[in-house]
Structure 1
Amino acid sequence: MVDGSLDPAVGACRIWRDVAWDLDYPDELRPLVECAYNLDDWHENWGVPVEKLKREAIDAAALFLKRQASAEHG
């Protein structure tokens, strides 16, 4: 998702449904789950471009990865 190899909407939904669900929605994944909700429910009448929501999902995933890397090395 972060490197562009997976559509952000697909990636966020996979994290939501396949990871967060199994882990009982940990706080660390909350921003990604919120992005998944928004992308899953998005409608063109919202007045927010879907590309903005996808960018937010990429940013949330990048932040999650950065925090995980810091935790491993910290």
Structure 2
Amino acid sequence: MNKHFCKVGTIRPNLEKVSSLNDLEKKHSNFIEEAYNLTQTDSGLSDVLYHEASKLRRRISRLKGISSPALDAAF
């Protein structure tokens, strides 16, 4: 078998880009606050910010080990 295109085990995560849990929670609250502030003036950007906040919320819940039904109670 030719290993020319095989990247298994050769790709490492970029540890400089890995954020701490506190940083992710701050980003989540900033996205929510900014999206709320832009609701009346720019609804498209507000929707994008809410979507990014929901992606961060899922990442935070995975890091904390929270199951999906408990998500709404936690945030």
- TM-score class, shorter-chain normalisation, is 0.3 to 0.5
- Structure having the higher helix fraction is 1
TM-score normalized by structure 2? 0.45
TM-score normalized by structure 1? 0.45
